[in-house]
Amino acid sequence: MDDQTLRPAVGGPDAGYLLEFLQDGVFVTVYPSDGTEMLFELSDVRQTLQDNGVIDYDVIELSKIIREAAGVRRKLADEFVEVKPEEEEEISAQENAPETEADTENEELAGIIIDISRDQMIATVRYDTSKGTKLPQVEDIKAALEEKGVVYGINEETIKNGVTSLTPFVAAEGKQVQHGENARIERKFDLSQKNRPKIDEFNRADYKDMGLFVLVKKGDLLAVRIPQTEGTPGKNIFGLDVPARTGRPIPMPQGKNTEVRNENELYAMIDGQIVDSTRKIDIDPHLDIRSSVGTGTGNIDFTGSVSIKGNVEAGFVVKATGDIEIGGMINGAEVYGRNVMIKGGINGQNRGIVKAVEDVQAQFAENANIEAGRDVSIVDAILHSNVRAGNRVYVEERRGIITGGSVAAGEEIRCKMVGNAAAVVTRMAVGVDPTVQQRYIEICRECKEDRGRLKQITQMLNTLSKIDVSRLPQQRIDQINTLTRSQFPLAGKIKRAEKEIQSLEEAMGRMKDGKIRVADTVYPGVRITINSVIMNVQSSIRRCLLTVKDERIDIGTY
């Protein structure tokens, strides 16, 4: 024992409780139960306290400590009385002495005390043994409860057990109120993975895929509101109703480009990224990156338009279904968008590519690969690059130079200077775009085949219509139904193909008038192709308009 301990502790975790007798008082610790069985009763602890001379303590507090079983040391009494060995023997003899009839008759009835909890939901019975220790009867307990006004939740079984010892017990318990739950929003997306590298199947982090945003498609479910509930009322031990509090409602987090359906469901109205400000969920069709695209952002693959304040660094990829605006340069990177506008230049490093469904605009292009469905507009120079435009290529401002590499356009190329004095090989081509020609051939073949299939289906249905269908086996009836269903999608496909063929024919018609305009000089070493007619420039040509006449390239004035 240490200096603080006056008597050895009694009990421990195995016993379920621990009594410590220290200089500053008697302390009790009740350990949490595993729920299988009770290791001790209140009477066991009280007997141990009596055996160790602890007389003055609060039985109700002890009962509360046992119920809580928090495993925390709690002070129970300020002092205890030292019991001498001879006194212990005398007490033991008195306790073990047989009880006589006279003792029972002369014993006073213990007083009944009813404690009501603050919330009026629990009535606890305890005994006043100051006048006597004789246990009351069940009817005595009920009478005491009735006198206190307790009329609801009385537990007969508990009362029957409670009159077998002087241990406090709960005699009545009200029905607890169940307050309504507040409405809540369940989001159907996860933003926790934003700005984190994607982990592949080998548990490796891909820092080129940083999950900068969360994309959704039009019609995607974004959030669901779970409405508030009304709750269930309770009743206290005095028989009075305890009203339930209805849960609080919450508004739908409807933001930009979202819509509420079925009162409690939020859907995206467009493709784009989710912007969640807690109170509102927006769908933004525009992604604004206030830095360069590199290791800090990873690759970008966005449904909508993208604005990049800085550069797109080598080895990274930017894809967007909308327009892409780049405030800096493209350095050996891949960029794909509807329109690509670069305020700086394109330094392709012989590996990067810039591809637009419509137009590409930049200050300059060097060692770059550029493709545009419509026009390519370069302010200063195209150097040693491969450029292809469905319609036109413009290099008319500042120096307006095209030197090295190859430049092709469906309709027209305009520039100030082609090649240079050192006769660097430079290829220029205008006229029918090979990709357009190839698509025209493919769509014509597909359309011809579909027309043939539709004709066969129509003929078969005409023949079958003359037969009594009711006499046909089920297999033949199913075949007729299949043919009938297939003819309408096939007819629609043919109609769309015919429309595309017409559009391609118009485009190729415009391309037959292909031309090259050079405001200054075409240097030797330049190879010019217009509608499959080729000319190798042997000497400088000044201010010219190059076209095809009589299967030859005609050099006209600018």
Which pair of structure tokens corresponds to residue 224? 């669901």
Confidence of residue 330 (pLDDT cuts 50, 70, 90): very high
Helix crossing, 474-511 with 434-464: angle to 10°? Answer: 150
**Max avg pLDDT among 149-158, 197-206, 426-435:** 149-158
Task: Write out the DSSP string of 74-136.
Answer: EEEES--PPPPHHHHHHHHHHHHSPPPHHHHHHPPBPEEEEEE-TTS-EEEEEEE-SS--BPP
447-463 pLDDT per residue, tens? 999 888 888 888 877 77
Distance CA 251, CA 246 (A): 16
> What Å distances lie between residue 490 and 445, 448, 456, 478, 481, CA to CA?
15, 12, 12, 19, 15
Work out the percent of the chain whose per-residue pLDDT is above 90.
Answer: 43
Element (H, E) at 145: helix 138-148
Q: How confident is the model at residue 107 (pLDDT cuts 50, 70, 90)?
A: low
Spatial CB neighbours of 4, under 8 Å, sequence gap ≥ 6:
22, 23, 24
For residue 371, how many C-alpha atoms fall within 13 Å in the half-sphere facing its CB?
10
**Mean pLDDT, rounded, of the chain:** 85
Token pair 């004789």 in the structure block, residue? 134
- Dihedral, CA of residue 191, residue 193, residue 197 and residue 200, to nearest 10: -120
Distance spanning both ends of the chain, measured CA to CA: 113
Q: Which amino acid is at 548?
A: V
Q: What is the pTM of this model?
A: 0.56
Q: Express each pLDDT in 378-428 by its tens digit.
A: 999 999 999 999 889 999 988 999 999 999 998 899 999 999 989 899 999
Q: If you average pLDDT over residues 236-253, what whole number do you get? A: 93
Provide the strand spans (E) within 269-350.
272-276, 281-284, 286-289, 300-302, 305-308, 317-320, 324-326, 330-331, 334-337, 340-342, 346-347
Residues 103 and 97 sit within 8 Å (Cβ to Cβ): no
pLDDT of 40 reads 76
Q: Locate 174 and state its tokens.
A: 């009200």
Question: Per-residue pLDDT tens for 45-67?
Answer: 888 888 888 888 887 788 788 88
- In 3D space, the residue among 142, 26, 146 whose CA is nearest the CA of residue 76 turns out to be 26
Output Rg (C-alpha) for the chain, integer angstroms. 46
Helix then strand then coil, in percent of the chain rounded to 5, is: 25, 35, 40
pLDDT value of residue 296: 83
CA distances from 12 to 16, 22, 27, 176, 452 (A): 6, 16, 13, 35, 94
Phi/psi of residue 376, each to 5°?
-120, 125
Sign of the CA dihedral running 232, 235, 236, 242: positive
Mean pLDDT highest for which of 64-68, 86-90, 228-232?
228-232
pLDDT-derived band at 104, boundaries 50, 70, 90: very low
DSSP-assigned letters across all residues of 319-338? EESS-EEESS-EES-EEEES
DSSP H helical ranges for 192-239: none
Kindly report the backbone phi and psi dihedral angles of residue 44, in degrees, each rounded to the nearest multiple of 5, phi listed first: -65, -45
In terms of C-beta density within 10 A (0-12 exposed, 13-18 middle, 19 or more buried), how is residue 171 classed?
buried
Q: How far is the CA of 5 from the CAs of 8, 12, 75, 271, in angstroms? A: 7, 16, 14, 74
Q: What is the side-by-side strand order in the sheet with 5-12? A: 5-12, 17-22, 25-30, 74-77
